[in-house]
Structure 1
Amino acid sequence: MATMKELRQERLNKLEQIKELGLNPYPAETNRTHMIAEIVNNFDAMEGKNVQITGRITGIRKFGKLAFIVLRDFSGTIQLFIQANNIAETSKEGNLIGIKDLNLLDSGDFVQANGEVIRSKTGEISVATKELKLLTKSLRPMPTIQDGFSNKEERFRRRYVDMNVNIDVRDRFVRRSKFWQATRDFLNNHGFYEINIPVLEHTTGGADANPFVTHMDALDNAQFYLRISHELPLKRLLGAGFEKVYDLGPRFRNENYSDEHLPEHVAMEWYAAYWDWRDGLKFQEEMFKYVLKETFGTLQFTLGNFNVNLDQKWEEWDYAETIEKRYGINPYNCTLEQVKEALKENNLEVEQTENKARGIDKLWKNIRKDVTGPIWLVNTPTFISPLAKTHPNHPEMTQRAQVVIAGSELCNMFSELNDPIDQLNRFMEQQNMRDAGDDEAMMLDIDFVEMLEYGMPPACGMGYSERVFWIFEGVTAREGVPFPQLKHEISETTKDIYSRINF
């Protein structure tokens, strides 16, 4: 069996022959009148019409003066029916490849075919090709699943190959695009403005996460963080006079990979002035249904062992009642030792730097993993939610809601804290936790406190990440993004081919 280097050399030889014929193997000009699916899906109306189509060759068969090429564009595939007496000969003018030089083409090459829409004698919809123009000569053959292109690591490294070999993977990212487009459409249609905010921040906050650190040469090598959340800058916009804002883009959390988390991922957060968490809860439930219906065409899903129906009443679970019912401890008056004991009894990790807030959160997540949902977890303790407003008559709990579906928390929503003194006190508590060794505790952001002192209206805010898409798509985090981060690696074949380069 020929090696990749040998196969590549064969194609390089063909490339030289193409050039010797006076053809350009990489022209810029292309002309297309129809996508392939337009022809296939509307054959009765298209039959007999002349069309110009483009795409990648996925198969070639030649029998003397007759040849068949399978051509694929983004919309689908079609057969090119080629007869020696019907197709133009090889010509520099038009960059055309005739039937006698068809052997210079390979699977993977891009071409333009001009011809008449017909149905072949075997009944297959085809384009009787009169002109075949070379657009791109490929130098490496596409592998197949049969060739062994099923290794996850290999697929992640060459996702552009993966999407050619596994069309269902490419279609996944079409749905991912629809997911975010539907998110934008829903918010835009409800009067929200998309305002892009910085990725680089002097002080980062809005979530419990360890940030990435970088430096900016233009500011005397000043230290910056890649944002872990969109929250604080968007709330500054509320202070600036905006009433409905959102941003959609990447955020960065310097944590381990898991099936549900990536250090870099896309997320969205919206904030609405003069709403409280109850207003937001109703709005977000409608938003979930709209976005998922637009993306997947249904509101009923089988997600692993969970059968989820979003088209029903969403239950509400009280945080403290849920913890006490399961573990026999009250989050408000229990001790850290009781929390650690509950963690041990349930075979959950107990860290040296364990604190009550982090421990209670672990206990909740141990419950969450078995929840089918959809449910809203409400009345989160204040010591777990440093940015949420407290209940007027119950300062020990916040006006916060989290939706849980198929064992995962899929969004976070609060009545936003706009009391600058209360916010400063909570920031101080978080900073003390950070100083004690909790790298995920929030930083003290005095600029944000200053903004609150100027005044921010009462508001509700909500955020979700593309983890919502991964859950309903039924894939892990790395399967759910087009180009997941991996350790840098160059294949031995490439090192051999480009041996003159010092990698």
Structure 2
Amino acid sequence: MATLQDYRNERLRKLETLRQLGVDPYPAKSERTHGCGEVLARYDELAGQEVVVAGRIVSIRSFGKLAFIKLRDQSGEVQLYLQRDDVAELDASRGILGMKQLKLLDTGDFVEARGVMTTTQTGEKSVGVHELRLLTKSLRPMPEKLENKEERFRRRYVDMNVNPEVRLRFIRRSKFWRATRDYLNQHGFTEVNVPVLEHTTGGADANPFVTHMDALDNQQFYLRISHELPLKRLIGAGFEKVYDLGPRFRNENYSDEHLPEHIAMEWYAAYWDWRAGMRFMEDMYKYVLQETFGTLQFQLGKFNIDMSGEWEVWDYAEVIRKHYGIDVYDTTIDEVAAKLKEHGLEVEKTDSIPRGIDKLWKNIRKDVAGPVWLVNTPKFISPLSKTNPENPQTVERFQPVIAGSELGNGFSELNDPIDQLNRFVEQQQMRDAGDDEAMMLDIDYVEMLEYGMPPACGWGYSERVFWIFEGVTAREGVPFPQLRHEIDETTRAIYPQVKL
């Protein structure tokens, strides 16, 4: 049975033959005029006209004087119809191949075909080829199937060729972020890119990645875990509607809903409160999902979700009391730990009352279809949010719960510098006691607040929103998920001259 090395060696032989003929197997330019799918979609208009298409060879069938090549690009597939009397002969200086050189082509090669749109005797709309030009000689054959998940993740470029629906997923992912930007831009927001490397990182409960900067005497820096604090500095600087969209990094375990590196967006609006933010985000969700998926009705696993209607609103403390009989404002760590054990939830040494209650809430959340707004979050769970004057034990926070997940986070932002400093100090004490996910004390941010920041609402969501509505896990939802670095034995054998 032929191995990958056998196939590769045969293609290397063909590559050498092409070079000996004087053909450049990797020219820099293509003269394509139309996409493969486009020439079929516009066939009535283009019939009888000359077109130039280009793409990857999917299949080749040769019958002496006749040959048929199926060609694919991002727009679709088209058949190339080659008749010996109509096809130009070898012109190596231009990279043109004749019928005699078809045997030097393989599936996976990229070619360019110049010809007239026609219909074959079997009724298939095709490009009747006059000139066939080599664009790229491939050295490895594409597999017919690729189902092993590890292999798919390691060679996504193969995965997307063999499983075109995977490539379509990332087109939708692009639409998701484009719609996010469009909606914010249409509503007067300004996109400002804030630093990825930070002296002090904050804005979330997460363990950061650590690095160093040689140019600043090898000082320690962190990869940002959130966009929040720099964007709120911009509100203090005079921006009234601002956002950033880009990667953030949280040095924690993989799960079906979390990746250590992922794309996220946060916006902040001066003179808005949390209720204004809720109204804005209900409309924004509808816009973004409609633009991305073309619908607001979704069947996501066990959840049947209609995003077109009005959202329910749930009170955090009431939900916990209803399910567990716990008063979140008057409880002990022992009581919380007992409820965790009772419901089969893990109890860790580093658990505090806030973390324990959060675990209890997540146990409820997993069965919520939504869309639901979770509001009136206890202050001890939200150290960066503004206190609710109607209930000083709670904060003005709003979280969407959809398909068992929290798909975003919004606040009336805390702008009292004394209050903020006190909360930072409390968080830093938790960090010093061994909680690596507690927030760092950011004194520069406190100083910004002392100069004054207007009332503001802030919001953030990550691409987890897309993953949930796309119905895929986190690793399936990104083009190149991080994996353990490995070199397989076949690769080592193919490149013996390279130290791998």
Output the TM-score relative to the length of structure 1. Answer: 0.99
The aligned residue for residue 481 of structure 1 is: 478
Q: Secondary structure at the match of 1:93?
A: helix
Task: Say whether the 8 Å CA contact 2:22–2:93 is kept in structure 1.
Answer: no
Aligned-residue offset at 1:335: 1.3
Structure 1: which 4+ aligned runs deviate by more than 6 Å? none
1:327 aligns with 2:295: no
Paired amino acid for 1:144: E
Number of aligned positions between the proteins: 500
Paired amino acid for 1:328: G
* Cα shift readout 1:399-435 (whole Å, capped 9, x = no counterpart): 0000000000000000000000000011111111111
* Cα shift readout 1:146-205 (whole Å, capped 9, x = no counterpart): xxx210000000000000000000000000000000000000000101100000000000
Task: Say whether the 8 Å CA contact 2:65–2:84 is kept in structure 1.
Answer: yes
Aligned-residue offset at 1:38: 1.6
Paired amino acid for 2:133: K
1:493 aligns with 2:487: no
Aligned-residue offset at 1:93: 3.2
Paired amino acid for 1:177: S
Separation of aligned partners in 1, 2:398 and 2:196: 26
Aligned-residue offset at 1:393: 3.0
The aligned residue for residue 248 of structure 2 is: 251
* Cα shift readout 1:446-481 (whole Å, capped 9, x = no counterpart): 010000000111000000000000000000000000
The aligned residue for residue 461 of structure 1 is: 458
The aligned residue for residue 72 of structure 2 is: 72
Separation of aligned partners in 2, 1:89 and 1:220: 64
Q: Secondary structure at the match of 2:328?
A: coil
Match of 1:358 among 352, 355, 360: 355
Q: Secondary structure at the match of 1:130?
A: strand
Aligned-residue offset at 1:269: 0.3
The aligned residue for residue 82 of structure 2 is: 82
Aligned-residue offset at 1:45: 1.1
The aligned residue for residue 164 of structure 2 is: 167
Aligned-residue offset at 1:137: 0.3
Separation of aligned partners in 2, 1:72 and 1:223: 49
Q: Secondary structure at the match of 1:403?
A: strand
Match of 2:181 among 181, 184, 194: 184
Paired amino acid for 1:103: K
Q: Secondary structure at the match of 1:337?
A: helix
> How do residues 243-392 of structure 1 correspond to structure 2 at under 5 angstroms?
243-392=240-389
Aligned-residue offset at 1:388: 0.5
The aligned residue for residue 37 of structure 2 is: 37
* Cα shift readout 1:45-75 (whole Å, capped 9, x = no counterpart): 1111100111000100000110000000100
Q: Secondary structure at the match of 2:94?
A: coil
Q: Secondary structure at the match of 1:370?
A: coil
The aligned residue for residue 28 of structure 1 is: 28
The aligned residue for residue 93 of structure 2 is: 93
Output the TM-score relative to the length of structure 2. Answer: 0.99
Q: Secondary structure at the match of 2:93?
A: coil
The aligned residue for residue 399 of structure 1 is: 396
Match of 1:410 among 383, 386, 407: 407
Match of 2:210 among 193, 203, 213: 213
Separation of aligned partners in 1, 2:424 and 2:473: 34
Separation of aligned partners in 2, 1:400 and 1:84: 72
Structure 1 residues not aligned, in runs of 5+:
none
Aligned-residue offset at 1:313: 1.4
The aligned residue for residue 61 of structure 2 is: 61
Paired amino acid for 1:141: P
Overall identity of the aligned pairs, in %: 70
Aligned-residue offset at 1:337: 1.2
Q: Secondary structure at the match of 2:135?
A: strand
Paired amino acid for 1:225: Y
Separation of aligned partners in 2, 1:344 and 1:491: 44
Paired amino acid for 1:81: Y
Task: Say whether the 8 Å CA contact 2:81–2:129 is kept in structure 1.
Answer: yes
Q: Secondary structure at the match of 2:102?
A: helix
Separation of aligned partners in 1, 2:144 and 2:483: 22
RMSD of the alignment, in Å?
0.6
> How do residues 143-162 of structure 1 correspond to structure 2 at under 5 angstroms?
143-145=143-145, 149-162=146-159
Separation of aligned partners in 2, 1:274 and 1:43: 55
